[in-house]
Chains A and B, each alone.
Chain A
């Protein structure tokens, strides 16, 4: 059987008619969380077996809001399938009337349009359509064909029914079941016949009765203890599972802690990057500095002018000083005085020469009143004057103030500015580069942040809610205590059981010896044969079940080794666990023959997928279903895989050449602007067809705006 198409009409987020046109082989539905993958899965599930309750929950809110005020419209899911060259279109639909108080729905109807090999067409409704649907896609097969999330892949977790369902659906071992009941019944009757015969004999009647009573008593005790042991073992398993889950939660809690720290780090980086990006870029660079770009020319002109002023001033001053020097010289020449240096000869000599009226410098007399005498007097005065504090005579200057130095000082300070201004061009270029780098960096941070936040959500989704982790922490201690108590108590119970079994065995042996003495031999012989018949029936059934499990195990291991090409190289082991009257299948992983404890989620998922694919292959070999092969539909089965492993997994699934429809959020990423994109890696995924689910732009607070679109890739 091949699903050729699935059409959803006004079904939840699928507004109006949306069609998936499938191919045989691998069909991949890509979509981020909330884009409609699960709704597609739910649509197909509803078509195949959904009930008539809460139909209003299936209605497209967009359509409902559009048809507000008594509008009527259909909601349907239809599937076109091909099987044995015959076409079937199954359509389940109901009508919605939009009322003020909400959607009013009709009952649903299932219709099948069947076109046989000759092209003859028939339309059937309801029960007949259901019958045709069940013949086309049998419920036994469907149970192993559709899986939502990773948790559902573990089909054996549900308990004892899983094995019998599997055997009933796909194995001839089911034919051996009823013989076990016949065998038991026949043996019990034969036992009773012997017992009755012995009781009729008076010889050992009393002893026999006593033994029988004891056997009954001990057997009852034994059964009671076995029942307690079973119950407690189940409790212990549950506690162990809880503890194992808690370990995962602890891992998750640890991961959450790490991811939270990483998110905080990215957020801090983002905030820093945002602050560093200059938002007043234009005004800062252009309005404030651009105007100064030609300042250097003005500065140069300014400097040139100062230099020119300075030169003029120097020339002027030179000329002035020359003129002044000339005047002084001519005055001195005119006065014909060559002044002696002040203080030569000394004051004492001068006074001595005056008192002696004799010039010892010229060696001639200088009488009082003579020119020589007056000259000496003058020199003494000059000398005395020179010893007096002098009033500084203001030197005569051409320019009273030195404005030029002020101008040079101004020039110096603006030269520093000019150096800065000269770098404006570079600064603008640098600022642009810097901003671009910051923006790229910011975008990288945002991508990382988004990735971490998705990872965070993933972990939260796996471990229920964050606050659950806290309550799990508090329960673990109590679970550990219970685990240890039950283990101790089971040890005691096992000892009691062993002792009771020994007692019952001995009593039975005593009873047997009485039987063989007192009962008619043909009854004992018949009992012996029927005991063996029961053993043969039971053990043959066991063998058949084991063979079937081995067949699944063998196929599963072939698939498992293909999925895990580069990873784990152990093997899957399927075993039957019998507890009282119940049987369960245990799926373990072995590494070099030893149990591989606590495999990670990805490995667990791979293990379950391998088993499911094996069952699917076996199902295709079961002739009673007629079709040969059936499609499998998975909603997000590889959430724990990561992109690389999902790629390998999908490529492997594609190579099986069987129809598989797999919805996944892998390969949907975001570009730097936050728009959804399909990651480049998807181009390496081999497939028959792929679809990309996206919601049209919508208001996240208004469900009536949601409309999923399907884009073939």
Chain B
């Protein structure tokens, strides 16, 4: 497992994912690539953040924010 995927798995193991967003285990992606394709906006957002932050050189906060805001504003909850 790459570090990116490990990070994603750790974040998605948070109780909010299951308790608030009601995402079942089977819908939890196993890697960042799958996460970016998720139908869940929060999973998608986290996966994209990881993908951008782990790039070398990593994107700035502003660049990441623009990408994520655009992505979320388009994705209904």
Contact = CB atoms under 8 A, between A and B. Distances in A.
A540 B65 contact: no
A455 interface: no
B42 interface: yes
Interface residues of A, number: 29
A172 to B, nearest CB: 8
A622 B53 CA distance: 23
A540 B11 CA distance: 6
B36 interface: no
Contacts of A530: 45, 68, 72
A528 interface: yes
A713 interface: no
A537 B11 contact: yes
A516 to B, nearest CB: 13
Contacts of B62: 185
Contact of B49 (A172, A179, A525, A526): A179
Contact of B53 (A182, A190, A193, A539): A182
A536 B12 CA distance: 8
Contacts of B58: 178
B49 A533 contact: yes
A280 B17 CA distance: 97
Contacts of A190: 69
B34 interface: no
A175 interface: yes
B7 A176 contact: yes
B61 interface: yes
B41 A182 contact: no
Given A182-B61, A539-B14, A540-B11, A533 B53 contact: no
B65 A189 contact: yes
A246 B64 CA distance: 53
A189 B45 CA distance: 15
B77 interface: yes
A569 interface: no
A523 B76 CA distance: 10
A540 B14 contact: yes
Contacts of B46: 533, 536
B45 A182 contact: no
Interface in A495-544: 522-523, 525-526, 528-530, 532-533, 535-537, 539-540, 543-544
Interface in A174-226: 175-176, 178-179, 181-183, 185-186, 189-190, 193
Interface string A84-123: 0000000000000000000000000000000000000000
B20 interface: yes
B53 A179 contact: yes
Interface string A531-562: 01101110110011000000000000000000
A57 to B, nearest CB: 45
Given A175-B3, A182-B53, A540-B10, A529 B69 contact: no
B64 to A, nearest CB: 6
Given A179-B53, A181-B61, A186-B68, A529 B77 contact: yes
Nearest to B59: A182
B49 A529 contact: no
Contacts of B10: 176, 540, 543-544
Nearest to A187: B65
Contacts of A537: 11
A533 B69 contact: no
A539 B76 CA distance: 25
A638 to B, nearest CB: 41
Interface string B23-42: 00000000000000000011
A273 to B, nearest CB: 74
B50 to A, nearest CB: 8
A178 B53 contact: yes
Given A533-B42, A536-B46, A522 B65 contact: no
B11 A536 contact: yes
A98 to B, nearest CB: 55
Contacts of B6: 172
Contacts of B14: 535-536, 539-540
Contact of B16 (A181, A193, A535): A535
B72 A525 contact: yes
A183 B50 CA distance: 11
B30 to A, nearest CB: 17
Interface in A144-191: 172, 175-176, 178-179, 181-183, 185-186, 189-190
B16 A536 contact: yes
B63 to A, nearest CB: 11
Contacts of A525: 41, 72, 76-77
Contacts of B11: 179, 536-537, 540
B42 A193 contact: no
Given A536-B16, A536-B46, A539-B14, A186 B64 contact: yes
A530 B46 CA distance: 9
A645 B18 CA distance: 52
A186 B69 CA distance: 8
A495 B62 CA distance: 38
A185 B61 contact: yes
Residue from B3, B11, B13 whose CB has the most chain A CB atoms within 10 Å: B11
A536 B69 CA distance: 17
Contacts of A532: 16, 20-21, 42
A533 to B, nearest CB: 6
Contacts of A539: 14
Contacts of B42: 529, 532-533
Nearest to A535: B16
Nearest to A544: B10
A528 B77 contact: yes
Contacts of A189: 65, 69
Interface in A451-488: none
Nearest to A537: B11
A181 B53 CA distance: 11
Residue from A178, A182, A528 whose CB has the most chain B CB atoms within 10 Å: A182
A522 to B, nearest CB: 5
Contacts of A183: 49
Interface of A: 172, 175-176, 178-179, 181-183, 185-186, 189-190, 193, 522-523, 525-526, 528-530, 532-533, 535-537, 539-540, 543-544
Given A185-B62, A525-B77, 6 more contacts: A182-B49, A529-B42, A529-B72, A532-B20, A533-B45, A536-B14
The 10 nearest A-B residue pairs measured at CB: A526-B72, A185-B61, A536-B14, A525-B77, A189-B65, A522-B73, A529-B42, A536-B11, A186-B65, A540-B11
21 contacts: A172-B6, A179-B7, A179-B49, A181-B61, A182-B53, A186-B61, A190-B69, A522-B76, A523-B73, A525-B76, A526-B69, A529-B45, A529-B77, A530-B72, A532-B21, A532-B42, A536-B11, A536-B16, A536-B17, A540-B13, A543-B10
